[in-house]
Amino acid sequence: MNYIVEHPGEFQYIVTPEEEKTETNSYAKNKRTYTCDEIFAEYLGFVAKKVNKTYYIQLQKFVLFFRDCTNINSEYLKEESKSMPKDLFPEMEPGYHSLNKDNNSTSHQEDYCSTHNAEQLPDISNKFVVNYMQNKKQYISIKEIMELTQNFCQWLFNNGFTCAKLSLIQEDKLIN
């Protein structure tokens, strides 16, 4: 089983610049300017209200693994972004610095999730399920990983954090 990710040819604003300026808009800034880390936190806040404690712990593991996989594949994502419309990647506000584990100080090099938006998160779904999570089956089953990945990517799409649509291909059939 593999995922395919469809990106539209043109960018469509989820929150228009006019809506962004109004006080009635629930988001003070365009969703495209949220970093992956901010979006992971928002997702965990969203699901915390809907699931029990045991399942929430699984979701936390999933998000941490997905975040790590995203940072590991940052060069791939940066290269892929060169062929995509520039409107999908607005100027980001300066992110925070990653903690350097060697000397417990802040590093000058920031990781992908603290400096980039979520437009490309669905693009690493295959790498995440097929490669990254293979050594971590003791933490989350592959079936659950696939379901969590699909649900998370659908949530990203539904909430306007990406315009990429994730689909599952199984035995030459497209499953939406």
The residue range of the domain holding 160 is 2-175
Q: What is the pLDDT of residues 155-174, one digit of tens each?
A: 999 998 988 887 776 644 43
Count of domains observed in the chain: 1
State the average pLDDT over residues 51-66. 94
Q: Which residue has the higher pLDDT, 132 or 104?
A: 132
Total residue count of the chain as it appears in this document: 176
End-to-end CA distance of the chain: 13
Q: How far apart are CA 54 and CA 47, in angstroms?
A: 12
Which DSSP symbol is given to 61? H
CA distances from 134 to 126, 129, 142, 170 (A): 12, 7, 8, 19
The pTM score is 0.71
SS3 state at 103? coil
Confidence of residue 91 (pLDDT cuts 50, 70, 90): low
Q: How far apart are CA 148 and CA 162, in angstroms?
A: 17
- pLDDT on residue 27: 45
CA 171 to chain centre: 26
Convert 111-125 into a string of H (helix), E (strand) and C (coil). CHHHHCCCCCHHHHH
Residue 65 has pLDDT above 90, yes or no: yes
